[in-house]
DNA sequence: ACCGGGATGTTCT
DNA sequence: GAACATCCCGGTG
């Protein structure tokens, strides 16, 4: 089966369109890789829950850049989370990566995530996903189209049979917007279902 | 299984 | 000073 890197144009669309299309794509970081099974869309200036809602800051600058780059942020004093920048440059739309099925480099993932009881827990959650793949501050701004810093998103032809939708998780505002997309019953979901 | 609290530090008000 | 796109652990049932 052929593997193709997703092109710039894939990301240059509304985050609500990109988000479900990212499901079952392979996220590759160096020697580790997994399948994206859960994401959330964030819609720039129109979205009170988005980091971009109040305009550009040093932290969220990557979101305002060109699409197809990784936006990595630090939160809760100890966790990194990773997004894919979408839409036109300046739009600051993004898709948060929340769940991963571990595929390659699973031994390395187990080594850095000793608290994971089962392999399906390795990438189950946005911060866990980053630890499992080794994503940190150094990856902020990496270009997913060129394979910058070893990070790339690949289409291997696999498509989800069904995509489920729900409200976003962990927010205090705009919680009612049904902008979470996931592959039901896939290993690596941040919560069962 | 489910729930509650604490960890930990950057960012913005 | 408060909030935070989270996770882990230890309680209870």
* Residues A131-141 pLDDT 10s: 999 999 999 99
Answer whether residue A80 is part of any domain: yes
Residue range A63-80: mean pLDDT, rounded: 97
Q: How confident is the model at residue A2 (pLDDT cuts 50, 70, 90)?
A: confident
The CA-to-CA distance between both ends of chain A, in Å, stands at: 29
Q: Is residue A44 part of a domain?
A: yes
Tell me the nt nearest to A59, Cα to C1'.
Answer: B11
Query: Taking 80 as the threshold, does the pLDDT of residue A1 lie above it?
Result: no
Is residue A147 predicted with pLDDT exceeding 90? yes
- Structural domain including A90 reads 4-182
C1' of C2 to CA of A43 (Å): 25
Among candidate residues A24, A23, A26, A15, the one with its CA nearest the CA of residue A68? A15
Please choose, from the candidates A13, A127, A16, A112, the residue with its C-alpha nearest in 3D space to the C-alpha of residue A72: A127
Residue A70 lies in a domain: yes
Give the CA-to-C1' distance from A30 to B7 in angstroms: 30
- Of the two residues A1 and A81, the one the predictor is more confident about is A81
Whether residue A73 is contained in a domain is answered as: yes
Q: Which secondary structure element, helix H or strand E, spans residue A38, and what is its range?
A: strand A32-43
Instruction: Assess if residue A191 is contained within a domain.
Output: no
What integer pLDDT is reported at residue A21 of this predicted model?
98
Nearest nucleotide to A61 (CA to C1') is: B11
| Contact (CB, 8 A) for A149 and A135 | no
CATH of the domain at A56: 3.10.300.10
């Amino acid at each position: 089966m052929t593997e193709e890197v997703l092109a710039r144009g894939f990301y240059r669309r509304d985050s609500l369109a990109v988000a479900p299309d990212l499901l079952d794509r392979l996220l590759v970081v160096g020697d580790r890789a997994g399948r994206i099974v859960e994401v959330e869309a964030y819609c720039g200036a129109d979205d009170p829950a988005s980091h971009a809602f109040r305009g550009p800051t040093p932290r969220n600058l990557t979101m305002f850049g060109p699409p197809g780059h990784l936006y990595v942020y630090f939160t809760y004093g100890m966790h990194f989370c990773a997004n894919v920048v979408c839409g036109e440059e300046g739009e600051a739309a993004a898709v948060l990566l929340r769940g991963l099925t571990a595929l390659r480099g699973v031994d390395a993932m187990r080594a850095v995530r000793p608290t994971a009881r089962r392999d399906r827990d390795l990438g189950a959650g946005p911060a866990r996903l980053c630890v499992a793949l080794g994503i940190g501050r150094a990856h902020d701004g990496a270009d997913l189209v060129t394979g910058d810093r070893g990070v790339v998103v690949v289409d291997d032809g696999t498509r989800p049979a069904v995509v489920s939708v729900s409200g976003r998780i962990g927010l205090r505002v705009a919680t009612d917007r049904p902008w979470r997309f996931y592959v039901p019953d896939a290993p690596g979901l941040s919560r069962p279902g």
